[in-house]
A and B are shown apart, each in its own frame.
Chain A
Amino acid sequence: MIFDVGSNKMKSLGPILTVLMVIFAFWYLMAIKLNSQWEYDQAVRAKVEVGFWDILPNTMQQKKPVLPAPHQVLTGLWDGLAGQPITSKRSLVYHAWITLSGTIYGFVIGTAMGILLAVGIVYNRAMDLSVMPWAIASQMIPIIAIAPMLAVVVHALGASAIVTKAVISAYLSFFPVLVGMVKGLRAPEQMQIDLLHTYSASKTEILWKLRFPASVPFLFTSLQVGIAASLVGAIVGELNQPAGLGARLLQGTYHGLTVHIWAALIVASLLAAILVKTIQGFERITLVKMGMRK
């Protein structure tokens, strides 16, 4: 039997579309329900009698709806992405770029920190006993509580906006890398380490020739979690900054511009999907090259 990959994809398209339609239908119903109160209040103020069918169209085109209808969000999204020059402060591309640069910056720092700490933990007994509890504790503190303080401190040290963001990003992303790398560096069996001992290999050689290559699959799994955490960190870090998706979210909240908020949220999740997919792409290429994926 010949399996047609294309038709398999078509087969999964049906359920996906069905689920999507159910979500949209529910979304519209909720929009009508949540936004109708404001329409009734307006009618009372204007002293006119209105029925449900009179206000129905209006619930889907309010300027500041409680819950914007899907088409409003999509229009807002399209306007933000394509309706502005990308250098404009009203452009979502501009804000996404600001967030992305902070995310990458923090991700690189966080990944480097995670790897260095993992090597320390694997090679140094004192670090093995002391670092992990602190690392876990650092992640127990809600980021929303510590971010403003971190931002103030880092800013007071004279760091630029992007560095402030990157610090928060790194704070969130070092942890998954640390945990994955400790496991990865310890993945080689005793026999493989003994083998290198019989060659009188040094600790550094064991690290480079055995522990690092063996940890690559673990690293990539961690990087996927890490990049998503970096994005969250960057957005949280932008809450007190003038630009970026986080700033856009907060401005939307201040001014009740719910369409803006939803549009920014969708851009953020698209960004997360692209970043994770990119890491997965690198993972596939690397593992194929290393012969670890058939």
Chain B
Amino acid sequence: MTSVKSKIVIEARDVGLTFETKDGPVVALKDVNLTVTEGEFVSFIGPSGCGKTTFLRAIAALEHPTSGSLTVNGLSPDAARQARAYGYVFQAAGLYPWRTISGNIKLPLEIMGFSPAAQAERLSRVLSLVELEGFGGKFPWQLSGGMQQRASIARALAFDADILLMDEPFGALDEIVRDRLNEELLQLWARTEKTIAFVTHSIPEAVFLSTKIVVMSPRPGRITDVIDSPLPKERPLNIRDSQEFIDIAQRVREGLRAGHAYGD
């Protein structure tokens, strides 16, 4: 643990999750143990079927573990959701086409019962946080894919959750946009000091963003390696050419390969 703050945000103890399907039980997660402390940027990486998204969804109480214990801010995932512990960013921006960007960002605020004044104040704050000032009145189709995803991040930030759960948020974007959004996300993380759990299947993305990289493998979904990144918090794009970066990427790659050999 390198972090000076050591408040535990997410704690998984022997978490298992089995889906009952028509073809019999499918083990999506098995014996997952993980501790995430406040302010960390944790990436989950692994091939499809390794349970990385399922684990993120379990943290968000969208799935429920069938064994072990999982706590978020010391609460059960359901209770943590009620306490507005996290904002969730999906793979697709998922903006409602009938709402403007402002309307979309206000959606959680409306449901959570914020006053119109508070809604307006938060709206302008998160719009500037994701650099979308002036786009509030636009409809989603009028924005590029990258801007739409930024709007969906703004929506997740609007109600001041301490945790940001992101499920391959930049997976559908091209590499240039992705690089830019990765840089912006790091700046945003530094400014807001949130805890971020980030699912990806890109090794460079995981190494570039994270303070902790969780390598997972499929059949059954489990953690094969947890890497605490020695990279500094300030990360320019060219850090990807440094030896440290290449070494971590190498270790992630080996972890993924080992997981595969074991699985097959």
Q: Which residues of A contact B (CB under 8 A)?
A: 189, 191-192, 194-201, 205, 209-210, 213-214, 216, 290-292, 294
Chosen A-B contacts, 18 in total, with CB atoms closer than 8 Å, are: A192-B96, A194-B62, A194-B90, A195-B90, A195-B94, A196-B111, A198-B62, A198-B87, A199-B108, A199-B112, A200-B82, A213-B96, A214-B96, A291-B97, A291-B100, A291-B139, A291-B140, A291-B141
A12 nearest CB across to chain B (Å): 30
Closest to B57 in A: A194
A-chain residues with CB within 8 Å of residue B92 when the two chains form the complex: 191
Whether the pair B97, A191 counts as a contact (CB closer than 8 A) is no
B81 at the interface (CB under 8 A from A): yes
A-chain residues with CB within 8 Å of residue B91 when the two chains form the complex: 191
Question: Given A198-B81, A199-B112, A201-B111, A290–B90 Cβ distance below 8 Å?
Answer: no
Given A189-B94, A199-B112, A209-B110, 7 new contacts (CB under 8 A): A194-B62, A195-B90, A201-B111, A210-B96, A291-B97, A291-B100, A291-B140
B-chain residues with CB within 8 Å of residue A198 when the two chains form the complex: 60, 62, 81, 86-88
Q: How many inter-chain contacts with C-beta < 8 Å in the A-B complex?
A: 53
A-chain residues with CB within 8 Å of residue B112 when the two chains form the complex: 199
Interface residues of B in 55-87 (CB under 8 A from A): 57, 60-62, 81-82, 86-87
Whether the pair B100, A205 counts as a contact (CB closer than 8 A) is no
Q: Output the residue of A194, A195, A210 with the most chain B CB within 10 A.
A: A195
Whether the pair B94, A294 counts as a contact (CB closer than 8 A) is no
B-chain residues with CB within 8 Å of residue A214 when the two chains form the complex: 96, 98
Question: Given A209-B110, A294-B141, A195–B82 Cβ distance below 8 Å?
Answer: no
Interface residues of B in 93-140 (CB under 8 A from A): 94, 96-100, 107-108, 110-112, 139-140
Closest to A212 in B: B98
Q: A119–B191 Cα gap in the complex (Å)? A: 44
Closest to A195 in B: B94
Q: A255–B32 Cα gap in the complex (Å)? A: 86
